[in-house]
Structure 1
């Protein structure tokens, strides 16, 4: 079998992952998991959007809406492409702490790329072991405290009045690894489209103490302030062709915008009970305040209003015990765990009086909680065979108490419980020291989010508690190979069949309604290749082909849509990157290319966003002077000015499907670090 040490000798640095909740080489994991290493002190990018970092991972599509009021759109093997805002169907985590709420909705704006050491992207059957996340898991791990006191300052500016500045610092505690790090940054932009100005302040901190081989505590904190972020809305095809930089209908009249204030802290304690047993306890808590103005008044007596005021508190606990050992055949590990997460919110809606909050139209208390139990086991039961698997039972409960009841607006209080037990199994065969083959299968489970329950497709008052959870059957075959010494290849074939898939029905004036599709199917191929050549050259390639379609689905009007492609999912996507570094001078440069196939924008496949190919170029220096590490850089995106659509709003009303991407743009900056 290929061990972590052997992989390092083979050439490329061995990659350790936590995809199955236990640190191990990704080469020995029977799952599609990619790791993107990041050096924030030298990254030639502003560190604003997750889309900057995930191009090298196949199967995952991160679309930049150019709209910070609605966040990025993240999809994994087609899951999550339905989201009109935020992230659904893909679970987000940072340092083991969820950035996804118990109902399954998360926000990428909380990720701190200035602190990132690596990002793991897990797809396929084993994602089910993380809970309510059918499509995949994106986990960001921040830097540990430094070995010496360190100060880092960075700043930059670019197109559309964009700029970012920040300061990071780290302090060790004695000679041991524990210590403290803190990050504070501000990003602002006028936006390339009309009515898309934003400002984002992000704070992150990490405090670690204890001995890794005995007990270790890690305390993390995240704070985000994003006031009055303007929302330019989607465009029709006619508007897109005439002027892609304009704001959508109603954006100016109703002053569409969103303000977010988010605070969150998490604590993890890892304790060795002995040479074979480890106990991990995590806890987190936070609050989130959102005020949003939509593109309509919401003045009707039965309306929920066109201005949203949301005050949310959330938190959770998790306990995990792991035993590792050996049998006569080989090593094994066994994990038992339990998770509890809860979210409580006060949601109010007001009339949008052309950008000001008017009369009350909605007032309710929402809560959702989950209790999950899971077991995971891994065993090298023969010299070249490894069996991995697990089972997770989830119960997710939604409660709504309606405090706005009138003669024309009935009581919409209610409750809905969802539960499922999901098994996963994977088998890996080490064909040689440099080639592993694997097969895995499992069941997935995804509940609707509160946003998807908010409105009924028939237009009547009340919440959509008729919406069922979706269940999926996931199959995967894969190959992982170390080619020669400096080349790594991953290949995966997958097929997912889903029942009661949660799909958008319509998106009218900022209100998205959802329905269940009886059956959908996603199948495809993923290829990832990483190569290190002589002379300072490196290359990455990530290619995905996916066929996603409705297998059994009728529209609300009764039209049979079976056989139509799932909207928002490109059939082909390709990322290619070639980088060169001249070690003696510290100069480096790279060219990136991205190609995405056309995507349908509605269930009936009557309109689509065209395929596009864009290139980006970057260059920088890594200079050392008087103890300072200074990294000036410049990057140019969409180098050839390709006119294209960056993301789409599936089933948007009145054909307002399109969120255009900018033409050629640039950003340049300097990062300077000093270790005392």
Structure 2
């Protein structure tokens, strides 16, 4: 009797256990998306950790499965980092965002030409930097990772300010900031309504991703002859809450902290980051101090709606050391120009921006994404011979409607949209001698506006052949009010300029040879309108109303693909672009009555021919101490020359013909190579070599910036410490070969008496840094 009772007790206990397990088991549905564009990641894998049970996301990124409370769901996809999320009692619907890895980049979805696609299926050259690429450096200097993209070069005026990006020869048309390309931060335009891109108020340490669309993109993005740069900030992982503290210190008084709070529910995420940075600099009068605050939020309101929010604030103060000549950069790169020191030359910036993006999926085939933003800047900039004070207020938006039908044999995709940007700039210029304010030189109110409408369509005209075509109609307007009264010695320069609208078409063919390899060919037209700094000569109070936009037509062929089970990937592109009405900046030295200034004219035609190549191999052994060996290399060849190019349009005895000369500021050869090694206990090693060929720095090609090689390295250890702490500690070094080079060269300057232009902004010799990131996960 006793044995029967025991048997029944065991049976009841067993049945109760099964009942409890069945009761705890729940049905979970969700979707897996790319965080920067909310696009579904088709074929992503969902696996319950420690088991073989799982499922796969469909073409909409959606999945459905059963799991128990406490299970750990592992989400993975080719080209993306694996993410683990715990199942809670309240878990029913999940939105999973996967960040791209730095291996097999061809599978990552990018913004492209208004319709997101994987890199491999985008019919154009796209460069991508992921969070893992950024983490392999100190994260502070944009050029240390963006310069690894072929055809792209970031330049810096100081150790922490004055960034400008040059894409296929565009971006260095002025000696301050950048023109000729468009830049966006979380879909918010960074480029002003006048075409100027100011990057000193962007906290690069918070970036998780950089996409570079190379070549004319005016058919979709407007004023973008060189290309488009999309920056994206870090997101909080869905379903996790954490607090992290980063501390970094290095040579020349570098000190950086980041304090962040990240929290995410099943369908929302919020990331708040405060950063403080101090840098004494290696040159006299070259220190920098910056404070950043950023808030990023993503909310998936329903299966059809999602919304993203960004708020940013920056307060920075960067002293300027001035430029040196070719002797000074070699013999005394640490000294400052006395004219800069005596006037306390600097860039003081206070900036704020707010943007909100809304995605709405009307149906399986029809959607809209709309972004609106508002921002402002206050810039106070004393320089060697004066001071400029600028207040900016800007606003605008961008909206794109997209229709796609994958069920049709033609797989048509159509995008129609528009973009609007407007600036109110209040700019005053004064004389400045020995840091004593002088007479008012200019007092201008500039209203700069650019807007465009565009359409883009693509269809699969054959089983493996896709045809795409589109066009944008682009407008640029300047309204200039001169607040100075006209006198016998001064002519009021108020006026209005509306450039002739520019129609920019684009057509492309893409052939998918295999599932892992594609070919493409494209032809596109683009334009680059003169920026306010080129139209308005603040130092002399003159407005140049005769300028016209630069126009370019680009032809490009290329291929992207992977081999060896997607461990070896490549991208190659060749392009040729003819540019007319090229804007030519010419520097004029100071006189007793007029400070140094730059005058810009439309003076010629330029031919750009280039080859870009990138190859990487990712070896991931399944066993052993080493978990990753990733060598990579990229190469850029640039044959850029003046085709019909003169110093001015006067055609008189003073006009100089530069035809057949090499374009100034462009290195004919750039080579990057590196390796990443990761060991399973958590140790890692990152190394990079960058070679930049010598380049002419003036129109006549009789002065050259010398070639240089940079070697950077970083070693560290990252690991979980128990269930709640993550630690990353590291040390690194930049310019390990102690090379002498200029991080930014002022182009086409007039030569002083010694025939050595003050063109060079020296970069530091060898530097060291160390840091740590400690994260607590609730």
Smaller-chain TM-score bracket: over 0.9
Contact 1:39 1:116 (C-alpha < 8 Å) held by counterparts: no
Cα distance between partner residues in 1 of 2:202 and 2:373: 16
1:476 and 2:573 correspond: no
Corresponding residue SS for 1:119: strand
Tell me: CA distance 1:346–1:26, structure 2 relative to 1, closer, same or farther (3 Å). Answer: same
Per the alignment, residue 564 of structure 1 pairs with: 661
Per the alignment, residue 422 of structure 1 pairs with: 504
1:352 and 2:432 correspond: yes
Q: Structure 2 stretches of 5 or more lacking a match?
A: 1-40, 45-75, 80-102, 590-594, 621-625, 649-653
Contact 1:507 1:651 (C-alpha < 8 Å) held by counterparts: no
Of 329-338 and 160-169, the range deviating more from structure 2? 329-338
Cα distance between partner residues in 1 of 2:331 and 2:449: 47
Corresponding residue SS for 1:250: helix
Cα distance between partner residues in 1 of 2:574 and 2:279: 41
Cα distance between partner residues in 2 of 1:323 and 1:158: 51
Q: Could you tell me how far 1:89 is from its partner in structure 2?
A: 1.3
User: Alignment partner for residue 607 of structure 1, among 698, 703, 707?
Assistant: 703
Per the alignment, residue 441 of structure 2 pairs with: 361
User: Alignment partner for residue 279 of structure 1, among 357, 362, 368?
Assistant: 368
Per the alignment, residue 440 of structure 1 pairs with: 522
Cα distance between partner residues in 2 of 1:327 and 1:165: 51
Contact 1:125 1:475 (C-alpha < 8 Å) held by counterparts: no
Q: Could you tell me how far 1:353 is from its partner in structure 2?
A: 3.5
Per the alignment, residue 35 of structure 1 pairs with: 128
Cα distance between partner residues in 1 of 2:153 and 2:534: 22
Per the alignment, residue 299 of structure 1 pairs with: none
Contact 1:68 1:231 (C-alpha < 8 Å) held by counterparts: no
Contact 1:73 1:83 (C-alpha < 8 Å) held by counterparts: no
Cα distance between partner residues in 2 of 1:117 and 1:646: 24
Per the alignment, residue 3 of structure 2 pairs with: none
Tell me: CA distance 1:127–1:400, structure 2 relative to 1, closer, same or farther (3 Å). Answer: closer
Cα distance between partner residues in 1 of 2:412 and 2:527: 28
| TM-score of the two chains, using structure 1 as the length reference | 0.93
Q: Structure 1 stretches of 5 or more lacking a match?
A: 297-305
Contact 1:499 1:518 (C-alpha < 8 Å) held by counterparts: yes
1:23 and 2:116 correspond: yes
User: Alignment partner for residue 95 of structure 1, among 146, 168, 186?
Assistant: 186
Per the alignment, residue 462 of structure 2 pairs with: 382
Q: Could you tell me how far 1:645 is from its partner in structure 2?
A: 2.5
Corresponding residue SS for 1:574: strand
Task: Give aligned pairs, total.
Answer: 657
Per the alignment, residue 157 of structure 1 pairs with: 249
Cα distance between partner residues in 2 of 1:241 and 1:144: 43
Alignment of 1:141-220 (within 5 A): 141-146=232-237, 147-172=239-264, 174-176=265-267, 178-211=268-301, 213-220=303-310
Cα distance between partner residues in 1 of 2:285 and 2:739: 22
Of 500-509 and 241-250, the range deviating more from structure 2? 500-509
Cα distance between partner residues in 2 of 1:114 and 1:644: 24
User: Alignment partner for residue 602 of structure 2, among 507, 516, 521?
Assistant: 516
Larger Rg: 2
Per the alignment, residue 302 of structure 1 pairs with: none
Contact 2:183 2:191 (C-alpha < 8 Å) held by counterparts: yes
Q: Could you tell me how far 1:460 is from its partner in structure 2?
A: 7.0
1:327-385, Cα deviation, whole Å (9 max, x unpaired): 64232211111111100011111221322433322212111112210001121222100
Q: Could you tell me how far 1:501 is from its partner in structure 2?
A: 1.2
* Greater relative CO, 1 or 2 (CA 8 Å, sep 6+): 1
User: Alignment partner for residue 346 of structure 2, among 238, 243, 257?
Assistant: 257
Tell me: CA distance 1:531–1:62, structure 2 relative to 1, closer, same or farther (3 Å). Answer: same
Tell me: CA distance 1:127–1:540, structure 2 relative to 1, closer, same or farther (3 Å). Answer: farther
Tell me: CA distance 1:562–1:388, structure 2 relative to 1, closer, same or farther (3 Å). Answer: same
Per the alignment, residue 359 of structure 2 pairs with: 270
Per the alignment, residue 668 of structure 1 pairs with: 770
Tell me: CA distance 1:446–1:126, structure 2 relative to 1, closer, same or farther (3 Å). Answer: closer
1:450 and 2:532 correspond: yes
1:341 and 2:421 correspond: yes
Per the alignment, residue 54 of structure 1 pairs with: 146
Cα distance between partner residues in 1 of 2:42 and 2:196: 35
Per the alignment, residue 221 of structure 2 pairs with: 130
Contact 2:120 2:560 (C-alpha < 8 Å) held by counterparts: yes
Q: Could you tell me how far 1:125 is from its partner in structure 2?
A: 3.7
1:245-297, Cα deviation, whole Å (9 max, x unpaired): 1112411122211110111000111111112111222110011000111101x
Contact 2:719 2:728 (C-alpha < 8 Å) held by counterparts: yes
Q: Could you tell me how far 1:127 is from its partner in structure 2?
A: 5.6
1:28-61, Cα deviation, whole Å (9 max, x unpaired): 0110002111149x92433222213213311001
